């Protein structure tokens, strides 16, 4: 697979404007990125801008904290699919995972996957807040619930993706679930390291720099 087809070209800043989202979509078309990733409000706009192209629309649910009523996450996910999203990146309820409420966390992932049916579900852990054992639990819960991807980070926590976390996650899921590395990936060398470890997708706002600086 070509490097650009690993990239979810991402813009999730609170101050992103309509023109910024249009520019993001234009860049994704120009560089043939796999997807754009935008906040849920902008799904319809991104879908309109990318119509008749191969670029997918990904969006985030329960973002960036994860501690939203689960029915609201499910509604947000369904609404985004209705507006043209191809992929949903949901944030788990980090506090409930750390509290040991594993069934609630797993059931929420399963409910969102059921709501979006055959669309792609990526489950964001926010690894910077988790112990290694909690990361392993999150991997198992995501697999049990039918997730398509597990993902390292929102990019809004205290840390992003690390090579060590990717190794840990890959060891837990093997080939059963794909992995998306996100947060702090800004150059070709770093991107290649993650791909060599077996990630299937990279979430980054530096996609253009990555594909043009190799």
- Three-state DSSP at 103 gives helix
Q: Which distant-in-sequence residues (6+ apart) come within 8 Å of 118 by Cβ?
A: none
**Reported confidence tier of residue 89, pLDDT bands at 50, 70, 90:** very high
Q: Annotated catalytic, 78?
A: no
Q: What is the mean pLDDT of the chain?
A: 97
Mean pLDDT of 165-186: 97
Q: 21-71, pLDDT tens digit by residue?
A: 999 999 999 999 999 999 999 999 999 999 999 999 999 999 999 999 999
Q: Annotated catalytic, 89?
A: yes
pTM: 0.97
Res 108 pLDDT > 90: yes
- Selected catalytic residue, list 113, 148, 151, 165: 151
DSSP 66-81: --S-HHHHHHHHHHHH
Res 175 pLDDT > 90: yes
Mean pLDDT of 145-167: 98
- Three-state DSSP at 155 gives coil
Q: Which distant-in-sequence residues (6+ apart) come within 8 Å of 96 by Cβ?
A: 104, 105
Res 213 pLDDT > 90: no
Res 214 pLDDT > 80: no
**Reported confidence tier of residue 112, pLDDT bands at 50, 70, 90:** very high
Q: What was the pLDDT predicted at 139? A: 98
- Selected catalytic residue, list 89, 113, 122, 148: 89
| Segments forming the whole domain that contains residue 56 | 3-212
Q: Annotated catalytic, 103?
A: no
Res 1 pLDDT > 90: no
Q: How far is CA 122 from CA 5, 11, 15, 86, 110, in A?
A: 17, 17, 24, 11, 12
Q: How far apart are CA 108 and CA 92, in angstroms?
A: 8
Q: Half-sphere exposure of 194 toward its Cβ, with a 13 Å CA cutoff?
A: 31
Mean pLDDT of 7-19: 98
| CATH assignment at residue 60 | 3.20.20.70
Mean pLDDT of 164-185: 97
Res 206 pLDDT > 90: yes
Q: What percent of the chain has pLDDT over 90?
A: 99
Q: Which distant-in-sequence residues (6+ apart) come within 8 Å of 64 by Cβ?
A: 12, 91, 126, 154, 155, 156, 157
Domain total of the chain: 1
């Amino acid at each position: 697979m070509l490097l650009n087809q690993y990239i979810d070209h991402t813009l999730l800043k609170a101050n992103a404007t309509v023109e910024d989202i249009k520019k993001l979509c234009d860049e994704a078309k120009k560089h043939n990125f796999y997807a754009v990733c935008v906040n849920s409000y902008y799904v319809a706009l991104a879908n309109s801008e990318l119509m008749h192209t191969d670029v997918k629309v990904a969006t985030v649910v329960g973002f960036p904290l994860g501690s939203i009523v689960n029915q609201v996450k499910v509604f947000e996910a369904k609404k985004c699919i209705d507006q043209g999203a191809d992929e949903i990146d949901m944030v788990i309820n980090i506090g409930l995972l750390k509290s040991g409420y594993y069934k609630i966390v797993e059931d929420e992932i399963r409910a969102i996957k059921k709501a979006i049916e055959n669309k792609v579900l990526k489950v964001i852990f926010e690894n910077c807040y988790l112990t290694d054992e909690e990361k392993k639990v999150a991997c198992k819960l995501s697999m049990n619930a039918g997730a398509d991807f597990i993902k390292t980070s929102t990019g809004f926590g205290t840390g992003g993706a690390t090579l060590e976390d990717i190794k840990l996650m890959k060891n837990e899921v093997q080939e059963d679930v794909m992995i998306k590395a996100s947060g702090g990936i800004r150059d070709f060398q770093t991107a290649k390291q993650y791909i060599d470890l077996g990630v299937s997708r990279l979430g980054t706002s530096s996609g253009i720099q990555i594909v043009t600086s190799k």
